[in-house]
């Protein structure tokens, strides 16, 4: 597992952003340049003074963009050089309480949009940056303002924003039609075509109705949408009905991602009642994918190890788990498709992982 937060000490008094640089490619104003390295860690010098980071080498950190918290004594590697899995957690507040939430919400919010904006401007060329929460659109104006300013200065970047789709309204249509939003995609969850079931899964009355309103707004704006459905015991048998709904009402989406459950957050305590052994009965998933395909809806599978997916649908299984939290079972070692496979979340039950794979 890759550590994203490291112990650090800094001369500065307030949090700041820096790009870590060994100096081999030249040092820019926003960079902290390497001045020393030993067995314990590395030391950098930049416009905010001295920065010492423990537990990593200069080679590991070279080119990473970090947020340094001098008071908290840590450095967060929020944009790792060469990684395709960089995501900014912009808030931990949320208006929903999903049964299987992997990031249980908090009541407080720490506003770091200014720091995130500075970090994005230092990103590698042509980067895709994820934005997550909590619910990012609780701070919609801050979020959209950040996206617009960054993309005005860095049109090479792209953003993928995870949102529950509860806060878009008619006044957003004109704004979202701006050409900069062609480089923004929205990952929006829907868990059932039945409003009562969807609302129960997300823990919010009226959520399905409000989601439909937001989807209409995004459709009128020409927004790029990735529809997301996490598979749980509650909605497994309702997938085909959901596929019919998507084919009829949401044909403007770019892709529909059906996602296996992550054993963390609320799902950990409810694992036995929520987790679906898809390898034992792939029927509802396959039927939903086939119906979507019949109507021109592209589907894909996230967090499904490839060997657990029947061959007709195996090519839809993506290497979807972020590199910093992905692992493979020991039994995966000889598999010829390992590099194309999602593997497992670092916190997936070990024995379940070992027993569930058959190397291809």
pLDDT, tens digit (0-9, with 9 covering 90-100), for 178-226: 999 999 999 999 999 999 999 999 999 999 999 999 999 999 999 999 9
Neighbours of 247 (CB within 10 A): 18
| Tens digit of each residue's pLDDT (9 = 90 or more) over 69-106 | 999 999 999 999 999 999 999 999 999 999 999 999 99
pLDDT digits (tens, 9 = 90+) for 4-13: 999 999 989 9
Q: Are 232 and 258 in contact (CB under 8 A)?
A: no
- 95 neighbors 87 (Cβ within 8 angstroms): no
Distance CA 109, CA 304 (A): 33
CATH number of 82-302: 3.20.20.70
User: Hey, where are the domains in the chain?
Assistant: 1-79, 82-302
> How does pLDDT run across 141-171, given as a tens digit for each residue?
999 999 999 999 999 999 999 999 999 999 9
Closest CA relative to residue 8, chosen from 53, 62, 67: 53
Say whether pLDDT at 227 is over 70: yes
3-state SS class at 134: coil
Question: What is the pTM (predicted TM-score) of this model?
Answer: 0.95
- The closest of 339, 337, 351, 274 to 309, measured between CA atoms, is 337
Tally of CB atoms within 10 A around 349: 15
Which residue is it, tokens 């991602």? 257
> Alpha-carbon distance 147 to 155, whole Å?
10
The maximal CA–CA distance of the chain, rounded, in angstroms, is: 61
The percentage of residues in the chain with a pLDDT greater than 90, rounded to a whole number, is 91
Collect all residues with Cβ–Cβ distance below 8 Å to 322 and sequence separation of at least 6.
Answer: 85, 87
């Amino acid at each position: 597992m890759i550590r994203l937060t490291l112990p650090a000490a800094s001369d500065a008094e307030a949090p700041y952003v820096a790009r870590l640089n060994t100096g081999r490619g030249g040092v820019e104003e926003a960079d902290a340049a390497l001045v020393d390295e030993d067995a314990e860690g590395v030391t950098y010098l930049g416009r905010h003074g001295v920065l010492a980071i423990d537990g990593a080498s200069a080679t590991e950190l070279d080119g990473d963009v970090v947020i340094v918290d001098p008071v908290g004594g840590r450095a967060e590697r929020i944009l790792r050089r060469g990684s395709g899995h960089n995501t900014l957690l912009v808030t931990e507040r949320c208006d929903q309480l999903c049964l299987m939430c992997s990031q249980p919400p908090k009541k407080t919010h720490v506003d770091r949009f200014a720091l995130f904006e500075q970090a994005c401007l230092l990103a590698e060329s042509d980067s895709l940056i994820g934005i997550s929460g909590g619910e990012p659109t609780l701070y919609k104006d801050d979020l959209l303002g950040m996206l617009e300013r960054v993309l005005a200065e860095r049109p090479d970047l792209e953003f993928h924003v995870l949102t529950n789709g509860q806060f878009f309204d008619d006044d957003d249509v004109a704004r979202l039609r701006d050409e900069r939003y062609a480089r923004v995609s929205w990952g929006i969850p829907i868990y059932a075509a039945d409003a009562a079931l969807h609302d129960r899964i997300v823990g919010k009355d009226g959520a399905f109705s409000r989601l439909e309103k937001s989807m209409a707004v995004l459709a009128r704006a020409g927004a790029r949408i990735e529809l997301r459905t996490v598979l749980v015991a509650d909605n497994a048998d309702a997938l085909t009905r959901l596929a019919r709904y998507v084919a009829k009402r949401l044909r403007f989406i770019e892709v529909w991602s059906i996602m296996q459950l992550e054993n963390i957050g609320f799902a950990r305590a409810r694992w036995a009642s929520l987790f679906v052994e898809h390898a034992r009965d792939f029927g509802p998933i396959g039927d939903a994918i086939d119906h979507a395909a019949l109507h021109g809806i592209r589907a894909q599978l996230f967090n499904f190890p490839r060997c657990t997916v029947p061959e007709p649908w195996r090519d839809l299984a993506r290497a979807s788990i972020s590199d910093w939290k992905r692992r493979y079972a020991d039994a995966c070692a000889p598999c010829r498709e390992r590099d194309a496979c999602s593997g497992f979340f670092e916190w997936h039950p070990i024995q379940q992982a070992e027993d569930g794979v058959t190397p291809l």
